[in-house]
Amino acid sequence: MSEGQENLTGYPGLDPSRPVHENNKRILLEALRAFGAVSATVSYQGYGDSGGAEDVSIVFPDGVSPPETMDVLIFAETRELQGTTCAPQTMSLEDALREYVEATLNRLHPGFENNEGGSGEARFTWEDDTIVLSHIDYYVESDHTETVL
């Protein structure tokens, strides 16, 4: 069990032996299904040392109206010098999707927002039980040649 995982005990259906992001993935995909959504997309971008998750789009089937409130309990990770802590937080589904994407970016593409930055989107589809992160890194390329004349 990693640091902070003990906060997952006592929540039905969650597995304290699994990483927090895996439990949050299950929670978010199940929440999309329970609220009647088909999918969700979170786009993000960053450059010049700032950026993060921006737009959240939750897709519902034709004729299905989203519930007035869509709150979900997820486990937010906070990284500090002393280690990582994990605490349950109730927030809107949109904020929870943003939180998940930003935590995923910190794990898989740390510093993506630095210098020329990067962008992408995360697509959540509960029917396939998948989250696909499509990421682009921006960079400056140089091609040096030296010719003696």
Residues 47-102 pLDDT 10s: 888 888 999 999 999 888 888 899 999 988 776 777 667 788 899 999 999 999 99
> What is the reported pLDDT for 8?
55
pLDDT at 49: 82
Cβ atoms of residues 56 and 94 within 8 Å: yes
What is the span of the domain harbouring residue 55? 5-137
Counting the structural domains of the chain, the total is: 1
In a domain, 57, yes or no: yes
Query: Among 5-9, 121-125, 129-133, which stretch is predicted with the lowest mean pLDDT?
Result: 5-9
Residue 147 covered by a domain:
no
pTM score of the predicted model: 0.82
Provide CB contacts within 8 A for 18, sequence distance 6+: none
- pLDDT exceeds 70 at position 4: no
With respect to residue 120, please indicate whether it lies within any of the assigned structural domains: yes
> 46 with 119: CB under 8 angstroms?
yes
The b/e string for 21-35 (b: 16+ C-beta within 10 A; e otherwise) is bebbbebbbebbeeb
